[in-house]
Structure 1
Amino acid sequence: MRGPLAVLASLTIAATLAGCGLGDGGGRENARPTGQPAPTRGPVTTAEATPTYPQPSTPTSPLPALVGRTGTPAASLPAPGQVDGRDATAVARAVVTTMWTVDTAIDATRWDAAQRAAPFLTPRYAENLRLSPQVAAPGETWSTWAEHKSVTAVVAAPADDLGKPADTETSAFHAFSLTVTPTGRDGWRGPAVTTTVFVSLERASAAQPWRVSSVRAID
């Protein structure tokens, strides 16, 4: 049996050995000869203090445009030769009817339908539309129409009572309440969609035909 002094000596030795494990975790820092100063580390730099992480890359190429295929829609559309260019109301009605008459068998979005209205538009407005194809998905309603390969029928009711500005010889404004009804090639008939559109028209002189310079829609 070991005496109290032997036990105390064992505990003292164990405590001393345990103290040698402090420092860098491997005993190297405390293994230097007695009397030599401890090695010092230089100041912590910003790069060491704040780790840098790779930043997400930003795509540089534009999103692909949603463009339909070439073809003739299965619907009757106003033809330039059948619309009186001297009548601002008739030209405005022809434009909104054309823009909202879509054939989902060939059109990817309503942008394709808008291109068919180009003969009734000012050159600047037609070019702006041509250079602005849709890139986002057209939405759930369009997806349902496309599922049935639908063609829309458009009824344009005058809505000039909505604060219409006065017309001049070279500028005119007209509003319409549109009722757009899709019918599928499979016999499906969807609910009608109602939209209010505001149309601006202009011409160089009273001798020139009216052309649409902008169309704004409010659902």
Structure 2
Amino acid sequence: MAAPGRPPRIVFLAALTCALASCGTPRATPAPSTAPTSAISSPPPATASPKVPGGLPDLTRLDHYDATAVSKAALTLMWLVDSTTDHSQRDAYQRAMPLLDDFYKVSVSDQPGGVVPGQWTEHHAYAKVRLARRTPEGDVPADTPTLAHRGWGITVTPTGRDGWKGSPVHATAFVTLRRKDPSAPWRVSAVGTA
């Protein structure tokens, strides 16, 4: 399992990319704000939200005082990449920012965005994300009023709007959530993946 505190790494999207494209190690594109203009720099972040079956988590209806609900919504937003609106997984991370604490936002912002596989673009595909609760492994402290941990099994299936489906990819996520005091909303402070 990746160390808690790291964002869901591009390893997951890279696995999807390689599984779909039968390629070697894909190149991660540099962050748009610091990348020099070249053939491999990524375009600016997408501005449109994905329009996928089931939609995105509605943050206006989300119970921000429920650690389980916040962790599930954040992971869904982080992993739902849509080739019709997104340039990279960085766009998915940006959609999850309202659910992250300030320190974790900085960590996520520093991660490379990966690439959307060409085969996804060809099929106008998106990542169909399914989450199932898992008990975190190892010596995990019990929840306190300001600290909580949640484990999730993630299954991502590349799904084309033309009926095409790619092979599903599976991962496990360990989410740490914090809040300033018991009256504050939960925010994700770390995600480790395996």
Same fold (TM over 0.5): yes
User: Which residue in the other structure is 2:61 paired with?
Assistant: 82
User: Which residue in the other structure is 2:119 paired with?
Assistant: 144
**Among the aligned pairs, what percent are the same residue?**
40
Is the partner of 2:60 in helix, strand or coil? helix
The answer to whether the 8 A contact 2:74-2:99 is kept is yes
Is the partner of 2:76 in helix, strand or coil? helix
Following TM superposition, by how much is the alpha carbon of 1:150 offset from its aligned partner in structure 2, in angstroms? 0.5
More relative contact order in 1 or in 2 (CA 8 Å, sep 6+)? 2
- When Rg is computed on C-alpha atoms for both structures, the one with the higher figure is 1
The aligned amino acid for 2:50 is: P
1:132 aligns with 2:111: yes
Identify which of 170, 174, 177 aligns with 1:201: 177
Alignment root-mean-square deviation, CA: 2.1
Aligned length: 154
User: Which residue in the other structure is 1:29 paired with?
Assistant: none
Deviating more after overlay: 192-201 vs 157-166: 157-166
User: Which residue in the other structure is 2:100 paired with?
Assistant: 121
User: Which residue in the other structure is 1:180 paired with?
Assistant: 156
- The CA distance in 1 between the partners of 2:154 and 2:121, in whole Å, is 20
Is the partner of 1:117 in helix, strand or coil? helix
The answer to whether the 8 A contact 1:145-1:182 is kept is yes
- The CA distance in 2 between the partners of 1:203 and 1:161, in whole Å, is 20
TM superposition score normalised by structure 1: 0.64
User: Which residue in the other structure is 1:69 paired with?
Assistant: 46
Identify which of 83, 87, 97 aligns with 1:104: 83
User: Which residue in the other structure is 1:35 paired with?
Assistant: none
User: Which residue in the other structure is 1:23 paired with?
Assistant: none
1:215 aligns with 2:191: yes
Unaligned runs of 5+ in 1: 1-60
> Which runs of at least 4 in structure 1 moved beyond 4 Å after TM superposition?
61-65
TM superposition score normalised by structure 2: 0.71
Unaligned runs of 5+ in 2: 1-33
- The CA distance in 2 between the partners of 1:194 and 1:143, in whole Å, is 21
- The CA distance in 2 between the partners of 1:217 and 1:161, in whole Å, is 11
Is the partner of 1:198 in helix, strand or coil? strand
